[in-house]
Chain A
Amino acid sequence: MSLSPLGASRSLAAVFTPIKSGGLVDEVCRRIELAVESGLLASGQRLPNEIELAAALGVSAVTAREALSQLRGQGLIRTTRGRSGGSFVTENSFPSAGRAREKLLGLTRLQITDLGLHFQAIAVACAGVAARRSSTEDVEALRQYIRPETAAGESATAFAWRLSAAEFLLELASVARSARLARELLHLQADVGTMTLLPFEDPGFCEKTAAMNHAITEAVATHDSEAAEARTKELTTATTNWLLAEHSDSQNKH
């Protein structure tokens, strides 16, 4: 079907696409998955019961019950009965490299490239404005996320690296002081979040990320917008390229 150039635009036609039902249960599940994935809810931790959950998230008890049941089906939580019973986040449910690889392999090369481009567009725009608006405190805040904190002699886990890398980019958006860009970056990280665990299992990639984060921070500190944009472009390209290479390798093995 082709639309007449004089008719309604394609973006307007999207207004009349069907609205999916059952969205609320999925939304509650997504929030809990995100809380577990970001480390806010830890493995083995008890979840609020359905009444508490319903009150906290402002949904009905029925919705909360359905969401818990759906999460149980996914294996993200387990429920035990009795006095010390309740719902608990299962051990090693998240974040797992297995799940990340599964998600990566479920995508096409085209989807990975497209997601990478979107991510790059937002992150690079943040970097350019951040360099213009940064204060000394802003630069200090960025420095905290160049690499994850570790106790002396210990090395950071892939999970800690990924969390720190995500925080670094969010901090960059905060320094840029654009609410729209920051929100977009949050959504994108929820989309790519699980997968970006994979490259951080590679120590070489971790060190390369720290070096690039450092270079971005220096550019922001010296108010060099062009350099901040260029370094951020390299950073996002490195992630996309790593994922594409991994995607090819895994497919060749199968």
Chain B
Amino acid sequence: MTAGVGELAALIAGLEEKLGQWAESTSEWLGTAGKATGTAIDKFIRPTVLGFMHEAGGLVAGAGFVAAAGLLGEDRSYIAWWQGGDMERVDALANFSPQSMSRYTKAEWFKVPMATGQPHVTGPYIDLLCTDEYVLTFTHPIFRDGTLAGVVGMDVTAQSLERAALATLRGIGPRAALVNAGGRSIVSAAPDVDAGDIVRPADGALRHAVGRQFTIYSATT
């Protein structure tokens, strides 16, 4: 049972580390990049996203950078985000819109890392801005000279996590579940628990912390 837990912990930690390293190099680059422009940001961010998209067995469905207000100019928003193997650009028209800031300032995946200065996982939720899929979004704050400048993030679909984690989870227990910080099931071995349902650990069930925010319940009720 511990082997399975370790396997899933490594899977999630792998994603978090990848994001952490990307955040670090992005902050470093921003510190030396001079005036931030859309073209310069695209040029720096896109190759990394392309790498994620073409990783064998990779879990990332989409990734990119979202600028904080002020980075590109007053009231200017900027989203450099791509998804899928053919690198479809997300929300392209928003970069030309004066109203686009409000599209993401209230979104949990932007708001929480910007408020706490800490990485955060949002979801599983229906992402109507990007993938229109059922996803988890891992976001990490970016700093420029010590000031918050935006976030980098990765979308991982609930479906790809199920593919990667379900067999291992079944090995942990026939009613084991991977849940988010809110106690919502992400992947569940129990046939009557769907991804998205709020679950409780069964009496006497073990709980294992996985990554920064997730927990595995060895059994759910």
**Which residues of chain A are within 8 angstroms of B103 by Cβ–Cβ distance?**
40
Whole-angstrom CA separation of A182 from B95 in the bound complex: 24
**Looking at the complex, which of B26-34, B126-134, B138-146 is the stretch in contact with chain A?**
B126-134
Is B7 among interface residues, defined by CB-CB distance under 8 A? no
User: Contact flags (1/0) for A32-54 with B, using CB distance below 8 Å?
Assistant: 10010001111001111000100
CB atoms of B96 and A48 under 8 A apart: yes
Cross-chain contact A174 with B198 (CB below 8 angstroms): no
Q: Is the CB of B89 within 8 A of A40?
A: no
- B93 close to A179 (CB less than 8 A): no
Q: Are the CB atoms of B197 and A31 closer together than 8 Å?
A: no
Residues of B within 8 A of A179 (CB): 126, 132-134
Q: Which of A47, A170, A174 contacts B125 (CB 8 A)?
A: A174
B75 at the interface (CB under 8 A from A): no
B99/A39 in contact, CB under 8 A: yes
Contacts of A222 in B (CB 8 A): none
Contact A56–B93 (Cβ < 8 Å)? yes
Mostly, the A contact residues are: helix
**Interfacial residues of chain B within 92-138, with CB under 8 A of chain A in the complex:** 92-100, 103, 124-126, 128, 132-134
Bound together, the chains give a CA A183 to CA B132 distance in angstroms of: 6
Answer yes or no: A135 CB below 8 A from chain B CBs.
yes
Asked if B24 is at the interface of the complex by the 8 Å CB criterion, the answer is: no
Min CB distance B179 to A, Å, is 12
Given A40-B94, A45-B98, A56-B89, is A177 in contact with B132 using a C-beta cutoff of 8 Å? no
With a cutoff of 8 Å between Cβ atoms, the chain B residues found around residue A135 in the complex are: 182, 184, 198
* A-B CB pair tally, cutoff 8 Å: 65
Which residues of B sit under 8 angstroms from A206, Cβ to Cβ? none
**B interface, by DSSP: helix, strand, loop or mixed?**
mixed
Residue pair A56, B92 in contact (C-beta under 8 Å):
yes
**How many whole Å from A29's CB to the nearest CB in chain B?**
12
The answer to whether A133 and B197 have CB atoms under 8 Å apart is yes
Instruction: Tell me if A219 is interfacial: C-beta within 8 Å of chain B.
Output: no
Which residues of B lie under 8 Å from residue A125 when comparing CB positions? none
Contacting pair B93 A177 (CB below 8 A): no
Residues of B within 8 A of A (CB-CB), count: 25
CB distance from A38 to the nearest CB of B (A): 9
- CA distance in complex: A135, B126 (Å): 15
- Residue pair A56, B99 in contact (C-beta under 8 Å): no
- List of B residues within 8 angstroms of A48 by Cβ: 96
Determine whether B17 belongs to the interface, using a CB cutoff of 8 Å to chain A.
no
Distance, CA A138 to CA B144, complexed state (A)? 33
Q: Is B196 an interface residue (CB 8 A)?
A: yes
- Which residues does chain A contribute within 8 Å of B89, judged by CB atoms? 56-58
A57 to B99, CA, bound (A): 19
Could you tell me the distance between the alpha carbons of A170 and B127 in the complex, rounded to whole angstroms? 11
Select A177's contact among B88, B92, B97, B196, beta carbons within 8 Å. Answer: B196
Whether a CB of chain B sits under 8 angstroms from the CB of A111 is: no
Given the known A-B contacts A35-B97, A177-B126, are A133 and B133 also in contact in the complex, defined by CB atoms under 8 Å? no
Q: Is A131's CB within 8 Å of the partner chain B?
A: no
Closest 10 CB pairs of A and B: A56-B92, A177-B196, A179-B134, A182-B126, A174-B126, A35-B93, A40-B97, A48-B96, A183-B132, A179-B133
Known: A32-B93, A177-B124, A182-B128. 20 other contacts (CB 8 A): A40-B93, A40-B94, A40-B103, A45-B98, A56-B92, A56-B95, A56-B96, A58-B88, A132-B197, A133-B196, A135-B182, A135-B184, A135-B198, A173-B126, A177-B196, A178-B126, A178-B134, A179-B132, A179-B133, A186-B132
Interface residues of B (CB under 8 A from A): 88-89, 92-100, 103, 124-126, 128, 132-134, 182, 184, 195-198
